[in-house]
Amino acid sequence: MELTQRRTKFRELLSQKICISPASVHDPISVRIAENLGYEIGMFAGSIASMTILGDPDLILITQTEFAQQIQRICRAANLPLMVDADHGYGNALNVRRTVEELETAGVSCLTIEDTLLPINYGTDNGAALITLEEGVGKMKAAVDARQDTTLTIAGRTSALAISGIEETVKRAKAYEEAGVDALFLAGATRREEITTVSEAINIPLMLGSITDDLNDRQFLAQNGVRVALQGHLPFSAAIQGIYDTLKALREGIPPSELANNVASPELMAKVTRRKDFGEMINKYLN
């Protein structure tokens, strides 16, 4: 699927009065599995990118180029529209422009730019803080201006709920909407009244970073403008646990034959690596 078609499909999903959860993906195989299972959207988070690419925690240690390269690999492997967490845009508003240019070229359908002060400043004791509202607006304007394909979705992401409260959140939501973003990614929401208050203040779709027990009601979320709600990144954690358990068992002398029931079958491996398609291409081009 051509990239603009993917982005158009993503926008169509945002326009519907439904709330969907994307598949958390991190590499070509995981996005292909998500597509095969019928997910509408893939999500590549900054935290998962750091762990996948570097094996390091989410401390803004990866570079924008490393992030874009992994996105390109993911987008090549499947036709699923991909949304990504572009963190703070890797710098100031000028860096945000460059980030949008690179990620658009890599193939994303939606990207978020957040207003958290990143990376951690000296002497802050790892406490979360926000950039000023004025700088946040500048970043959102830069992101919107940088895109060349107007079907690319730009979402402003704010962490104001957990840091400064609902009043500041609404203020920033309105300002980012006025700056031209297509959606608002609301991080840290835990209660229904937070969702309704923000939703009533703006006219663009909402995205949630997680769903608490109180918010686990798709009908309520859909009625209050939430179109995308993340469910964490369990697939990556599950993959890590599977690798750890398998390597540990082999190291301890468990015969490989005893582990066969706990790994992907040859049929599944063939499916996710498109072995049939390549067999047909071998016959067409090499025989």
CATH 3.20.20.60 residue ranges of the chain are 3-238
Q: How far apart are CA 31 and CA 75, in angstroms?
A: 8
pLDDT for res 127: 74
- Cis ω before 255 (30° cut-off from 0): no
Q: How far apart are CA 156 and CA 145, in angstroms?
A: 13
* 121-144 residue pLDDT tens: 887 766 789 999 999 999 999 999
Is the pLDDT at 15 greater than 70, yes or no? yes
pLDDT for res 1: 82
* 36-95 residue pLDDT tens: 999 999 999 999 999 999 999 999 999 999 999 999 999 999 999 999 999 999 999 999
Question: What is the average pLDDT across 208-230?
Answer: 95
Is the pLDDT at 32 greater than 70, yes or no? yes
Mean pLDDT over each residue of the chain, to the nearest integer: 96
pLDDT for res 167: 98
* 252 or 287, greater pLDDT: 252
Residues 115, 158 contacting (CB under 8 angstroms) = yes
For residue 93, which amino acid is it? Answer: A
Percent of the chain residues past pLDDT 90, beyond the cut:
94
Q: Is the entire prediction scored with pTM above 0.85? A: yes
Q: Which two tokens stand for residue 193?
A: 């009244």
Q: How far apart are CA 164 and CA 194, in angstroms?
A: 13
Q: How far apart are CA 171 and CA 86, in angstroms?
A: 22
Buried b (16+ CB within 10 A) or exposed e, 192-215: eebbebbbeebebbbbbbebeeeb
Question: What is the average pLDDT across 145-171?
Answer: 97
pLDDT for res 125: 67
Looking at domain 3-238, its CATH superfamily turns out to be: Phosphoenolpyruvate-binding domains (3.20.20.60)
Q: Which two tokens stand for residue 135?
A: 């700088």
Residue with tokens 């000296």: 122
Residues 184, 177 contacting (CB under 8 angstroms) = yes
pLDDT for res 286: 97
* 105-115 residue pLDDT tens: 999 999 999 99
